[in-house]
Structure 1
Amino acid sequence: MIAKERLCLVTLLLVCLLSTTVQPANILAIFPTASYSHQMPLLTLPRTLAQRGHNVTVITTNPFNDPMPNYTEIDISWTYDYWKVDKSPNKKQIVNLQGRLGPMEAMSMFVKATNILVDLQLGSPEVQRFIKYLDDEKPKYDLVLYEDLMYIAFLGFLHKLGHPPLVTMLTLPLLCTIDLSTGNICNPSHIPEMMLPSTNVMSFWERLKATCFSLH
């Protein structure tokens, strides 16, 4: 009987010891949006993971520039230059947020602008250096954090990293297209779209408008 009790105690001790052991993971976070209100909530997670001992690389438009040995920032803050109002002859501006736009116009503008910006970001010296590092060193990554907006081209990193698990994050209410990409049910006739001025109580015409907007 005493031997069994000792065995149980030893087993319990081993379980407790093993449960508190954490192996550091290599994590890549991809947050391309040039928006402070997007970046700060998203960056909280990778920053905290680094503070807990994990090795984190972040593609971000808002680097902290606060060196940590296990926290690497790929700085694409220059993306903001393409969102600013610039009246000079050689302006870089791609997106103009100063005018009044309807939902369809706004969504079309964001889609076109994002396609251009993603090409610029992936082709930038900062990201190209990281891609070369992946090709040369072939490091193993255990997890990818991804801002689930219109940045699908960045998911090409999954192929280079050996298809690690992907966790999508968002600091906005879900759009129907994002619901569909994650396997969630999307019913625009009952769930109001973020871009439309509707509540959860919609008239027939509001339901029809929401459905047409989602199909568009």
Structure 2
Amino acid sequence: MTSPWVLILLVVLLSSEVPAARILSLMTFPGKSHYINIQPIMQELALRGHDVTVVTANVEKNPLPNYHQIVVDNRTFWDSFGENLDKFAFENMAFWKELPLVWNGAYFTTEVAFNSSSLQELLRNDKSHFDLIIMELFFQEAFYMFAHKYKAPVVAISTMGFHQYIGDFMGSPLQLAYMPHEFLRSRGRLGLLDRLQNLYYTVYDLIGRRLVMLPRHEKLVDKHFEFPETRPSIYELQRKVSLVLLNTHFSIDTVRPQVPGIVEIGGVHIKKPKPLPQNLQNFIDESKDGVIFFSMGSNLNSKDMPKEKLDMFLNTFKKLKQRVLWKWENENLPGQPSNVMISKWLPQTDILAHPNVKIFITHGGLLSTIEAIHFGKPIIGIPVYGDQHLNTARAQSMGIGVKLAFSSLTEAKVYESIREILDNPTYSNTAKELSDRFRDRPQTPMETAVYWIEYVIRHKGAQFMKSPLLQLEWYEAFMLDVVLVIFALLALPVLLVKKLIKSNKKKGTVAGKHNGKPNKNKRD
């Protein structure tokens, strides 16, 4: 019997205007939320007839026949890595400690991927060929060397939206007066202290990346790649990236000046809502006062919260008329109130699409924030690390939510925040308005992503989209040579006038001395 996948592919291939390409996708970071954001794009490319090979730590069940998986060992590594960390303690970690921790985690996952026998087999296969490299933009820079190995252009996907260093290698201007670093905890108009902190974060990030992180990845490249010729540096390859796809959109983010090679696809992972399992459907439908959805995402587990925080949530939920749907990672929840339903896994987007869901209590991860905005749900954001602080501050500044600090959470604060959103329709109305403008686009996020990826394929890397800024030396980019010339032109007349004045004074002094001498020829 002919597989339905084969029939679908046949129809797509016959109708496609773009020749099928061989695509290598490197998304080895094991974080589930990262995978959820990128995998649908790979699936869509395969549906359009491209031959897609995905190097991943997350296995896709029943893939298309032209969707191949190279599974690396990162899932096991990441799970054991996470067991040794108290992630809720990250909330007040200093930036200069938190960012290197992220760098190290990403580096170790890159190293584990390279050491996997499956990826080693690909590296040793000299007959393999790819027309395009698609990789996640998450501190795994050694993977850029695949672009040199296969002489293929690169499309990078940033699951965390805009990073300041994207502007550095794409030639897009950085305006630090209003463009916040992704780890900055302020939103809206940046005050003086915010701008000073933003400058510090950005400079620390850019210099640390060049002087600390990239050299480690260079050593990883030397260990695993062999080239007959002198290879380019990772930084050189990064500056040749053809396209960066950002998981954000200007309607909900800081408006930035961007070069054509930076394209926003925020919401690309969101699919048409599916029917809920019957038990969930009944639980939400039958709540006459509405439902509050509580989830701390895929990397933070509610079960790992300190007991005093857990008790605080339980006591708060007992007071509510609303039902609470809680992503809880254990079989049982001691002290579970009668209005609370727990589950280890919940279909988040399908739940948020339900009109009876009134509030989303979230950690503020970018995917969760985007999903809440897409479906017009107000949020209570409880950030812990990374960009969660900025995302929840952004939601609060846009008027669709309240930001609470995990370390200072109290029963009163949570209850008052819930009542504030339930009793004040402004939050819900603003969330719906924001949803309308977020969805209002000439193409869907998926159509936009696929169009520009295929654009890069059609135009063999589309290097003509690159900013001329990347061809300049650093002193030319900052116009320091021009400033020096202008300074010289302004200073030269001043110096000449000063010299002339000094010369005239000297002549006057000499003349004065000469005129003041007695005339020896004069008679009495």
TM, length-normalised to structure 2: 0.34
Residue of structure 2 equivalent to 1:212: 200
Aligned match for 2:55, one of 51, 59, 82 = 59
Q: Which moved more, 1:152-161 or 1:74-83?
A: 74-83
Secondary structure of the residue aligned to 2:101 is helix
Q: How does 1:149-160 map to 2 (within 5 A)?
A: 149-160=138-149
Kindly indicate whether the alpha-carbon contact (under 8 Å) linking 2:29 and 2:110 is maintained by their aligned counterparts in 1: no
Shift of 1:102: 2.5
Q: How far does residue 70 in structure 1 lie from its aligned partner after superposition?
A: 1.1
Q: Please give the alpha-carbon distance, in whole angstroms, between the structure 1 residues aligned to 2:80 and 2:142.
A: 19
**Within 5 A, what are the aligned runs for 1:1-216?**
20-76=16-72, 77-86=75-84, 97-100=87-90, 101-133=93-125, 135=126, 137=127, 139-162=128-151, 164-216=152-204
Cα distance in 2 for residues equivalent to 1:82 and 1:130 = 26
Q: Secondary structure of the equivalent of 1:190?
A: coil
Q: Residues of 2 paired with 1:43 and 1:67: CA distance? A: 11
C-alpha distance in 2 between matches for 1:53 and 1:173 = 28
Distance (whole Å) between structure 1 residues aligned to residue 162 and residue 98 of structure 2? 16
Q: CA deviation at 1:141?
A: 1.3
Could you say what secondary structure the match of 1:127 adopts? helix
Matched residue type, 2:89: G
Q: Match of 1:3?
A: none
Q: Separation in 2 of the partners of 1:97 and 1:61?
A: 21
Question: Which deviations, in whole Å up to 9, do the C-alpha atoms of 1:83-117 show, x marking residues without a partner?
Answer: 3214xxxxxxxx65342223222101111222222
Amino acid at match of 1:103: F
Unaligned stretches of 5+ residues in structure 2: 1-13, 205-524
Instruction: Compare CA radii of gyration and give the structure with the larger one.
Output: 2
4+ runs deviating over 6 angstroms? none
**Distance change (3 Å), C-alpha of 1:79 and 1:130:** farther
Deviations 1:42-69 (A, max 9, x none): 0111111112211000111212032432
Structure 2 Cα separation of the partners of residues 79 and 171 of structure 1:
21
Secondary structure of the corresponding residue to residue 210 of structure 1: helix
**1:20 shift after superposition:** 4.8
Q: What code does the residue aligned with 2:184 have?
A: L
Deviation track 1:164-198 (CA, whole Å, cap 9, x = no partner) reads 12111111121212221222222333211121111
Structure 1 length-normalised TM: 0.78
Matched residue SS, 1:173:
coil
Larger mean Cα displacement after TM superposition, 113-122 or 200-209: 113-122
Q: CA deviation at 1:156?
A: 1.0
- Per-residue deviation, 1:145: 0.8
Q: 1:51 to 1:153 in 2, by over 3 A?
A: same
Alpha-carbon spacing, 1:20–1:79, altered in 2? closer, same or farther (3 Å)? same
* SS of corresponding position for 2:70: strand
Deviates more, 1:96-105 or 1:141-150: 96-105
Q: Which moved more, 1:147-156 or 1:173-182?
A: 173-182
Whether the 8 Å CA contact 1:148–1:178 is kept in 2: the answer is: no
Query: Runs of 5+ in structure 1 lacking a partner?
Result: 1-17, 87-94
Instruction: Determine the C-alpha separation between the residues in 2 that align with 1:214 and 1:125.
Output: 37
Indicate the larger mover: 110-119 or 48-57.
110-119
Q: Aligned residues: percent identity?
A: 24
